[in-house]
Amino acid sequence: MIEIPLTQNQIALIDDEDFEIVSKYKWSALWNPCTKSFYAKTDIAKPDGKRTRVQMHRLVMNAQPGEQVDHIHHLTLDNRKSELRLCTRSQNQCNTGKHADNTSGYKGVGWHKHNQKWEAQIALDGKKKHLGYFGTPELAHAAYCKAAHELHGDFANFGCLNVPHNPEQTSRTGS
């Protein structure tokens, strides 16, 4: 593992085997307000003299246009291949955390004002799927986690690291 110094006192990690290609460029830290995290980026001159921005994780994975690269554990400056995987946009969206405006504390769970219950929903290929209404946010989240495990597989992100969960032991008790 090699540490690559960036601007803003940040450091990116890469595998030893990627040093040759990464060391050709000057890298800086780019803050992404949506993910609230830094990414390593550089600007590369194209043959026409224009410059294009390249992110380190895309360079390391040799990502082609249309391909996305997912940081498996959300450590956006850890660009070792064991922490990255090529994916589709839909798969990458599955591995996001809970939204910033979330009030329940659980991904996929919101208060349904009309029914006065907690509602669980999940998205697949950009379409929302209703999972049921529940008496507690924990029960709604359990339904979300079970569906995420089934629908998103390895890309499932349960949205809160402080809640241990085994999807195999979850039973849906919603109405």
pLDDT in tens, 139-166: 998 888 888 888 777 777 766 433 333 3
Structure confidence at residue 172 (pLDDT): 32
Does domain 2-87 sit in CATH 3.90.75? Answer: yes
Cβ density class 94-103: b for 16+ within 10 Å, e for less: bbbebeeeee
Q: What distance in Å separates the CA atoms of residue 67 and residue 86, rounded to the nearest whole number?
A: 7
Residue 168: pLDDT above 70? no
pLDDT in tens, 37-59: 899 999 988 889 899 999 999 99
The domain segmentation of the chain, as residue ranges, is 2-87, 98-169
The CATH architecture assigned to 98-169 reads 2-Layer Sandwich (3.30)
Structure confidence at residue 84 (pLDDT): 93
* Percent of residues, the chain, with pLDDT higher than 70: 85
Structure confidence at residue 171 (pLDDT): 33
Residue 25: pLDDT above 90? yes
Structure confidence at residue 58 (pLDDT): 95
Q: How many residues does the chain have?
A: 175
Return the DSSP state at 75: -
